[in-house]
Each structure stands twice: as C-alpha cells, then as structure tokens.
Amino acid sequence: MSINHRPTSAGDITGFEALLRWNHPTRGNVPPTVFIPIAEESSLIIEIGEWVLREACREAASWSRKLSVAVNLSPVQFKHGDLSGLVKSALIETGLEPARLELEITEGVLIDNLERAISTLGHLKALGVRIAMDDFGTGYSSLSYLQSFPFDKIKIDQSFVRNIGLAQSSAIIRAVIGLGRGLDLPIIAEGVESTDQLAFLTRESCDQVQGYLVGRPRPISHYAKYVGRAEENEQLERGRSAVAVRPEQSHVANPRRNSGNAEATS
C-alpha cells in the first residue's frame, strides 16, 4: 500500500489530502471503495489507519512550505483504541505542528455513539488539530451534528458538484456556502473537474476546491515544487556539484585529503 496526495486550492495550493492506495501484485490497482470496507469489517483499518496517519504527518513535517495535510478517519478507529493518544504520539514523533493536521470524518463516525464520538473529537481538537465534516449533505442529520460539535471546515460532497448544472444541486451548494459563512466555517468543494464548475464555485465564494481540475491524487514527488522540495533538490544538486569540483582542484596539493572527501561523498 502507498499514499497519494490530492491538492486543495484556494487560488494557490493550500494543502494536501493523504489518500491510501493499493496496487495489488496480480490484481493491479484496487479501488478504495473495495478494500476500505473489507479492512473496516476485519478491523485491519485500525493498523492501516495508524500507518497512514504517521506517514502523512512525517511527510508533511518534511515540507519547507507549511501547508496543511488532511487524513481521513474511519468510524472503526473511534470505537477501538485511544485515537487522541495516537494522534498526539504521531505529532510528537514527527514534529508536525498540530494546526497543520486536519482530520476528516463522515457522519458514520457520529451515528453509532454520538456522545463518545463528540468526547473523542473534543480531545482531538484540544491537541490543536482541525476537524472537518466530510461528505456533507449526504447523510440524515448533518445539520444537527454541526450544532453538536464545533467543526473547523465543511466539505461539500462531490455528488452535488457533479450535478452543478441542475437547479437543485446549485441551490444546495449555495445554501451550504451560506451556512458556512453564517457559522464562520470554511467550505471546500470536492470533485471539481471542469472550468464551469470552478467558475460557479468562485462566483458563490466557495473557499477551497479539490478535484481533477486542481490536481489528481499522485505521489507527493509529483507536487515537489508546491511543498518546497524542488528548491531543496536544486540546492542539493548545486551542493553536489560543488563537492564534485573541489577534489579535482585540490588533487595535486593534498591527495590524502582528497581521498577522504571522495569517500565521504560517495
């Protein structure tokens, strides 16, 4: 398994969402919609989720640009183990600033045991991380959940964005953006794939967008320049070039010192 990163844009790239991918040796790429439910049923998602969280934090902590990183949490992770302890451990271990970590949950986290879920979310938020309501508008009680817990962001489900040309979907998106404005919550629209969709969301003052138009989920190396890694690579290459030149310049004067340098840089 590996982690791809999907960019979030507010005109410029503001962060990335860490997404788990599985390239099976014989079956090829297995969709998350297939393997995530199986992992949840077998409780393997607890171990997998911990790995994703730690890897996402470790990766983000290495960026020279202080962009955010979002990680999805499964309802199963709320039922078993010390989730707030895990997040605290990952932050300390990697050195990632808590404010840069965004944890995304769906309504499924809140359905089974609202009181316990709210308590866990409160402990997580006390660490300084941000909590986002994902797939907003697709459940039964999203509005009541907004009243139960002070979320930091609302994500409009891509099903509404996909049908943005329909009057009903457009009206719902406007209403959610207005709701976010009234609650002082940033709104992010998922699944933006066309310039028409982006133009509509821009006119309605949607805060952030995700989707193929912004960037597909890819290994973070694909987005090196956005996280500041391109500049780091250039500096590293310049440093290597400088090291490669020095031994030739000092070869005659001090061959022993030159030999030591060659070993150190090989």
pLDDT tens, position by position, 123-175: 999 999 999 999 887 776 568 888 889 999 999 999 999 999 899 999 999 99
8-12, 24-28, 168-172, 228-232: least confidently modelled range: 228-232
**Beta carbons of 23 and 15 less than 8 angstroms apart:** no
The pLDDT value given to residue 111: 83
Six-digit token pair at 164? 């943005």
pLDDT band of 250, cuts 50, 70, 90: very low
The dihedral built from the CA positions of residue 204, 207, 211 and 215, taken in this order, carries a sign that is positive
- Which homologous superfamily does the CATH classification assign to the domain defined by 2-227? EAL domain (3.20.20.450)
* End-to-end Cα spacing for the chain: 32
Sequence spans of domains, the chain: 2-227, 231-266
The pLDDT value given to residue 246: 47
Alpha helices by DSSP H, 152-207: 158-162, 167-183, 195-203
Nearest CA to 96 out of 126, 56, 155 is that of 56
